[in-house]
Amino acid sequence: MNKLIYLDYAATTPVDPRVADKLVQHLTMDGIFANPASRSHMYGWQAEAAVESARKQVADLLNADTREIVWTSGATESNNLAIKGAVEARQDRGKHIITSLSEHKAVIDCFEYLESKGFSVTWLKPDSNGVVSSENVLSAIREDTIFISLMHVNNETGAINDVYKIASIAKARDIIFHIDAAQSTGKLLIDTKVLEADLISSCAHKIYGPKGIGTLYVRRKADFTLPAQIHGGGHERGMRSGTLATHQIVAMGEALSIAQESMSVEQAEISKLKRLFLDCLGEGVDFKINGDVNQSISGILNLSFPGKDGQILLSALPGLAISSGSACTSATMSPSHVLASMGLSDEAALGSLRFSFGRFTSEEEVRTAAETLRVVLIKMA
């Protein structure tokens, strides 16, 4: 079972060996292991320097200032800090907040929590391609709207929202705008000098870094102070306490630095893999693309197979590491909330699979995977 073809990059990526090298240099006695908050000895200073150099790598990718980067344990925590923090900071101005039905659970659950605390939520419905339009956002804004949170790239379909346009709409109305960029960081251009969002969540493990580390970009010139959601020690300029995980942090910095260098070439190559997969799957088999290939990220392809059950398909494809629905919800067999929000029936949603490609996917793997799927579909027809 060691020869699975891994096509689940949207769930997590393997750590790039260059990143893993960097990580292990920050663990043991002969490496940089000390607490970056230890100010009384050189080991501590070395760890602090390593953390700050990684912070610069993240800031560079986002064209941001290092003071705008807060370390967290991942995008789930970044989303919690951004959403609960921003709403707490602005609750005196209004109670209306906006998000979409196709967000990651880490956003949806925060909004449901706030709804239970008395906030009024508008849940925007994406179009049939999974895209939340700026017109849709604009028409949901009210006098008492204080906060909008939308994802850049959807983790199930790859659909890309025009966050640049939405950010300027929010900015013009002095509404705090947060972007869940877990799937786009290091893959699409996020230039905070142009993109007027106040808060941006990222994590390392979708971009060849380790799990358990992420960042929240917090705009310095924003006219609100983000209250901490985790207290204890006042690390990260008071926004997030806890001893910094030096090894994870340097690994994230390295992963994002590699991504910055390779982004445009790599995305073009992965795009070709997606097209190759669709070409190899070919005609004569019945499938539908959930989303618009021209308005989605290169690495993610969500297909529905009319009349088929995703779980049965999965078990007929033991050589492929792929997902039905999203990894986070596939423990329960309910149809994907993302596909449902695009208007797919329960049956169509349950008959869908997500294929996601990445840095270590070869053309041969793509051909083999598509051919395997093709044979299974023809057999089942």
Q: Which residues are catalytic?
A: 328
Q: Is residue 183 classed exposed, middle or buried when 0-12, 13-18 and 19+ CB atoms within 10 A define those classes?
A: buried
Shortest Cβ 102–ligand PLP spacing (Å): 10
Shortest Cβ 255–ligand PLP spacing (Å): 13
Give me the sign of the Cα torsion angle 238, 244, 112, 173: positive
Residue type, 107: V
User: Cβ closer to ligand PLP: 76 or 298?
Assistant: 76
Shortest Cβ 144–ligand PLP spacing (Å): 27
User: Cβ closer to ligand PLP: 37 or 189?
Assistant: 189
For the chain, first and last CA: distance in Å? 27
User: Cβ closer to ligand PLP: 22 or 354?
Assistant: 354
Whether residue 168 contacts residue 121, with contact meaning beta carbons closer than 8 Å, is answered with no
Chain contacts with ligand PLP (rule: CB under 6 A): 74-76, 104, 106, 151, 155, 180, 182-183, 203, 205-206, 214
SS3 call for 365: helix
User: Cβ closer to ligand PLP: 74 or 310?
Assistant: 74
Shortest Cβ 153–ligand PLP spacing (Å): 7
Beta strands in the chain (DSSP E): 5-6, 69-72, 96-100, 120-124, 145-151, 176-180, 199-203, 214-218, 288-289, 300-304, 320-321, 352-356
User: Cβ closer to ligand PLP: 326 or 361?
Assistant: 326
Residue with tokens 């901490």: 228
Q: Which residues contact 258 (CB under 8 A, 6 or more apart)?
A: 16, 18, 19, 208
Nearest-angstrom CA–CA distance, 296 and 289: 11
Residue 124: both structure tokens together: 């925007």
Shortest Cβ 206–ligand PLP spacing (Å): 6
Whether residue 246 contacts residue 50, with contact meaning beta carbons closer than 8 Å, is answered with yes
Nearest-angstrom CA–CA distance, 240 and 249: 14
Query: For 30, phi and psi rounded to 5 degrees?
Result: -85, 5
Shortest Cβ 326–ligand PLP spacing (Å): 8
In the complex, which residue's CB is closest to ligand PLP? 74
**Beta partners for residue 70, in sequence order:** 216
Residue with tokens 């804004």: 141
User: Cβ closer to ligand PLP: 13 or 46?
Assistant: 13
User: Cβ closer to ligand PLP: 184 or 352?
Assistant: 184
Shortest Cβ 130–ligand PLP spacing (Å): 12
